[in-house]
Amino acid sequence: MEKEIKSLRKIEMPEEMKKRLIEKCYNERQEKTVKKLYRKPAILAATLAVVICLGAVTAFASSGKLEGFFGDVFGWNGAVVGTVYENATDEIAVEAEVKDSVITVKAVLLQKEEAPYLYLDVLGIGSCKIIDSEGEIILEGVSSRKVEVKDGKAVVELACEELLPGEYSLVIDEFIGGAKAEQDLAIKGVWECTISVK
C-alpha cells in the first residue's frame, strides 16, 4: 500500500485529486487493519453461538421436549412441492403381531387432538423394514394401503409370506396420513417392534 501512495505522489495531477486518492488509500488500509482485528473474535462468537444452540437442542431432546414439526418438501427445481411432519416418534405408539402370514400393526395417535393428527382420516405405513435376529435386513421399503383412523387408532396390515419362523424386528420410519381433499402427509420417525413368526 505504501508503494501505491508513493507512486501516486509522483503522478502529475491536480493537488485536490491527489489528496482524495491518498486519503482513500489510507482509509482502505485502516479498514483492512480493523477487519483483521475483529475477524477472530467474530469467528469465536459464531462458533460459541453454534455450540450453545446445539447444546440447547440436545438438552431439549434428552428432556423429551423436542416434538414433531412440519417441514417443506422441495422438488428438483427448489420449489416447495409438499409438506412433511418430522420427529413424530414419541407421538405415535406402535404394537405389532404376526398371524396367518400377516403382520398386524396397531398405531395409536397419542396426540389425536393436535395437528396434524386431528385432521387425519386415514393412516398407512409409508416405509418400513424387517430385520432378523442377526441384524440382516430381510425386507425393505415395505408399505401398506391406508386404513381408516377411528378414535385416534389405526390397524394396518402387511403381508409377510416370505418370513421363516423366528424372531424379527419391524422398523417403521414413515407413516402416510391422509384427509379428504388434501395431499397425503408423510409422518417421519422411528418405531420399532419385535415380532415372532411361528
Predicted confidence (pLDDT) per residue in 95-136, tens digit: 999 998 899 999 999 998 998 999 999 999 999 999 998 999
Return mean pLDDT, the chain: 82
Please count the CA atoms within 13 angstroms of the CA of 88 that sit on its side-chain side: 29
- Who wins on pLDDT, 47 or 171? 171
Whole-number pLDDT of residue 157: 94
- Is the predicted pLDDT of residue 40 greater than 70, yes or no? no
Give the angle 86-87-88 at the CA atoms, nearest 5°.
95
Q: Within a 10 A sphere around the Cβ of 122, how many other Cβ atoms?
A: 16
Main-chain phi, psi angles of 88, to 5 degrees: -95, 10
Q: How far is Cα of residue 47 from the mean position of the Cα atoms in its chain?
A: 22
Whole-number pLDDT of residue 193: 94
Using CA atoms, how far residue 57 sits from 65, 70, 111, 146, in Å, is 9, 17, 22, 34
Range 36-64 average pLDDT = 50
**Residues 147-182: tens digit of each pLDDT:** 999 999 999 999 888 888 899 999 999 999 999 888
pTM for the complete prediction? 0.65
Could you give the 3-state DSSP secondary structure of residue 13? coil
